[in-house]
A and B are shown apart, each in its own frame.
Chain A
Amino acid sequence: MSLEFSIPNVLNLSAILIIGVSVIYGSKAIKNLYSDEFAATINWLLILVEAIFIVHLIIFLLFFFDIYSDLLVIFVLVSVIFLAMLFFFASYKIIQFLELYSFEKKELSGSSIEELIKKRQRAARKERRGS
Chain B
Amino acid sequence: MADYYYVFFLTSSILLYTLVVFVFSFTKIRATRVKDIFRMFFFGLLLFTVSQISLLVATVSTGFRFDFFVMVNSFFSFVLSIFAVMAIMEAEKFSREILSEANHK
Interface residues of A (CB under 8 A from B): 6-8, 11-12, 14-15, 18-19, 22-23, 25-26, 29-30, 32-34, 38, 42, 45-46, 48-49, 52-53, 55-56, 59, 63, 68, 70, 73-74, 77-78, 80-81, 83-85, 87-88, 90-92, 94-95, 97-99, 101-102, 105, 107-108, 112
Nearest Cβ on chain A to B84's Cβ, whole angstroms: 5
User: Are A22 and B17 touching (Cβ within 8 A)?
Assistant: no
Residue in chain A with minimal CB distance to B52: A84
Nearest Cβ on chain B to A112's Cβ, whole angstroms: 7
Could you list some 17 contacts between A and B, CB below 8 A? A7-B71, A8-B74, A12-B74, A14-B78, A26-B85, A29-B91, A30-B88, A52-B80, A55-B73, A55-B77, A80-B11, A83-B11, A91-B41, A92-B21, A98-B38, A99-B25, A102-B31
User: Are B14 and A85 touching (Cβ within 8 A)?
Assistant: yes
Nearest Cβ on chain A to B60's Cβ, whole angstroms: 15
Q: Which of A38, A42, A49, A101 contacts B81 (CB 8 A)?
A: A49
Count chain A CB atoms within 10 A of each CB in B41, B52, B71, B78 and give the residue with the most.
B78
Q: Which of B29, B41, B85, B96 contacts A32 (CB 8 A)?
A: B96
Interface residues of B (CB under 8 A from A): 1-2, 4, 7, 10-11, 14-15, 17-18, 21-22, 25-26, 28-31, 34-35, 38, 41, 45, 48, 52, 66-68, 70-71, 73-75, 77-78, 80-82, 84-85, 87-89, 91-92, 94-96, 98-99
Query: A95 with B77: in contact, given A11-B71, A12-B70, A32-B96 (CB under 8 Å)?
Result: no
Residue in chain A with minimal CB distance to B14: A84
Task: Label chain A's interface by main secondary structure.
Answer: helix
User: Are A102 and B29 touching (Cβ within 8 A)?
Assistant: yes
Nearest Cβ on chain A to B58's Cβ, whole angstroms: 14
Query: A29 with B30: in contact, given A81-B7, A90-B41 (CB under 8 Å)?
Result: no
Residues of the A chain whose Cβ atoms lie less than 8 Å from the Cβ of B94: 34
Residue in chain B with minimal CB distance to A53: B81
Query: A101 with B88: in contact, given A8-B74, A33-B95 (CB under 8 Å)?
Result: no
User: Are B67 and A34 touching (Cβ within 8 A)?
Assistant: no
User: Are A87 and B91 touching (Cβ within 8 A)?
Assistant: no
